Homo-oligomer: A and B are copies of this chain.
Amino acid sequence: MAYLRIEYFSNALHRTANFEMMIPEEPPAGIPWEKNESQSRPMKTLFLLHGYTGKAGNWVPPGVAEKYNFAIVMPTAENSFYLDGEATGRKYQTLVGEELVDYVRKTFSLAKGPEDTCIAGLSMGGFGALHTGLAYPDRFGKIAALSSALIVHELKDIKPGGGNAVANYEYYRECFGDLSTAAERDVNPEVLARRLKADGKKIPGIYMACGTEDFLIENNRAMHRFLESEAIPHEYHESKGVHDMHFWSEYIVKAAEWMFG
């Protein structure tokens, strides 16, 4: 498994940004305890989105990339919710959904169609996977969203001077714009999904999972109900678990099988 740490100039962020990649490779020849499977190029690609407080590379799915022969592109998007803010250099949606997709496709030997490109994430990155995937259905064929921070309906209750247990009003304002209208705008994945449906466009495949003890379980159930009510095909899974790596390590393997199996 080759591992790449990459610095490049991002026009979306107006500065040098970084991302990391894993690329399956021919396994060692002549090492008795390593088994040999062959890999081919161009390969499929998974964009893998970290959660709040995270960065590229702090959550690497175990063993699946070699098994299904896909590269993993891991952006670092700070605590941005993968959204375009209003300020110059805050275009995190553009970063992941446009700039980085274009950059890796032109720089690496990767398969280029949406059928070969998936997006997944956990927590804030689960939100990002759903939102970015639905914003760019021509680029991403499938979305896997784990324990997703689908908090957009709660934002209207966060007022100047206030906040919630994680962050303050100003933070959410910089990520989502006007909080009182966020749920009606494109920062809400539901708005994007409804529009794709109304426009008769293809909606990426959707896989969701959340632990039953996760503090975000009701938010995920609400999204599940929304997708059902809109008759948008998706898989939804729950099992015992909290908001932690045990749950994500189990479900990213299942999601990888669903995306690339």
Q: Chain B nearest CB: distance from A191 CB in Å?
A: 22
Are B53 and A14 in contact, with the CB atoms below 8 A?
Answer: yes
Interface string of A38-65 (1 = CB under 8 A from B): 0001000000000011110010000000
- How many residues from A make CB contacts under 8 Å with B? 56
Are A89 and B167 in contact, with the CB atoms below 8 A?
Answer: yes
Are B14 and A79 in contact, with the CB atoms below 8 A?
Answer: yes
Contacts of A8 in B (CB 8 A): 2-3, 23, 25
Name the segment of A101-109, A132-140, A194-202, A224-232 touching the other chain.
A101-109
Are A85 and B9 in contact, with the CB atoms below 8 A?
Answer: no
Are B108 and A16 in contact, with the CB atoms below 8 A?
Answer: no
A78 within 8 A of B: yes
Alpha-carbon distance A210/B96, docked complex (angstroms): 37
Cβ-defined partner of A5 (8 Å) among B5, B11, B54, B170: B5
Task: Tell me whether chain A's interface is mostly helix, strand or loop, or mixed.
Answer: loop
Are B87 and A15 in contact, with the CB atoms below 8 A?
Answer: no
Interface string of A13-40 (1 = CB under 8 A from B): 1111010000101111111111000000
Alpha-carbon distance A31/B79, docked complex (angstroms): 12
Are A32 and B78 in contact, with the CB atoms below 8 A?
Answer: no
**Which residues of chain A (75-128) have a CB below 8 Å from chain B?**
78-79, 85-90, 106-109
Q: A4-B5, A108-B109 are in contact. List 19 more A-B contacts (CB 8 A).
A: A2-B6, A2-B7, A2-B107, A3-B8, A4-B7, A9-B53, A14-B79, A15-B54, A30-B166, A31-B166, A32-B215, A33-B215, A79-B89, A87-B173, A88-B163, A88-B170, A106-B109, A107-B108, A108-B108
Q: List 18 A-B contacts (CB under 8 A).
A: A1-B9, A3-B8, A4-B4, A4-B6, A5-B6, A9-B53, A11-B29, A14-B28, A14-B53, A16-B55, A33-B215, A85-B170, A88-B166, A88-B167, A88-B168, A88-B171, A90-B174, A109-B109
Q: Which 5 A-B pairs have the closest CB atoms?
A: A88-B167, A2-B8, A87-B170, A87-B171, A88-B171
